Structure 1
């Protein structure tokens, strides 16, 4: 939502419910209640309950961030980093089904959680343990990169039918 649209939406809410009610609701959404704001220090920022406020979110480490922290052999480091970059872009293992297929193909225990993020450590430990040639094959052949792009194949079929 752009800033102008957000401002317009907030303006409508304030007109309908009043500034105090909208402010109170925003603070609840952000993990603060009215008493926490009143007790806030004079820094201009609202106080948070506990060490971490309820409205804060932890940053989930990307595959690239995790791989860069790994101790990788020099001959495979660049290839593993490239696979991690592709994983984050969802051009390598874009679905959890692709991760499941990879785990079955390489005898890796499947993650219990069905999220791509939870599979990162397990998958990239397995990849890091592979030979450099096998890692390069994953890169070169686009293995576990989701469904094939069928557009070029369909175009070739259409051209061959037009000639016949």
Structure 2
């Protein structure tokens, strides 16, 4: 690192010796201004406004559909935003597969709602209402139903009575 600073100092001394202080200072100020201008065009600036992604509810509110479709969609979208409906990317993928479609590459759960919306809009208003009224559908991530199924299966298994001798 020291050698790089030495090189810079040597170059500056050579420039000063050739063109003088005023000319080097003027050219350096222009170069700094151009460099700053180029960086502001290509790099992220922390003071620039951040683009917010639309929530699932905002996407649904933008739709022009019948009230009997929009209301259950709003409920599902609210649950989705609160992570009560399909809380993980894996759940979203599983839901898409269960709908008979091939899931796209999903990198962001929030963005995946657009894919879900296409599937939900294909459902009948009655089915949408059923989904909205159902207990929080969370897909395979909820272990309660699996646990209940294991317990029920265990009750049907024959048991050996071990009595102390």
TM-score, structure 1 normalization: 0.55
Q: Which residue of 2 is the match for residue 113 of structure 1?
A: 106
- The answer to whether the 8 Å contact 2:88/2:109 transfers is yes
In the other structure, the counterpart of 2:84 is 91
Which structure has more relative contact order (CA 8 Å, sep 6+)? It is 2
Uncovered stretches (5+) of structure 2, i.e. residues with no partner:
1-31, 149-165
Give the total of aligned pairs: 108
Larger helix share, 1 or 2: 2
1:5-154 pair list within 5 angstroms: 49-50=40-41, 53-55=44-46, 56=48, 57-142=50-135, 144-145=137-138, 146-148=141-143
Change (3 A) 1:66 1:52: farther
In structure 2, C-alpha distance between the alignment counterparts of 1:52 and 1:67, rounded to whole Å: 33
Q: Distance in 2 between matches of 1:50 and 1:87?
A: 36
Structure 1 regions of 5+ residues with no counterpart? 1-34, 40-47, 154-164
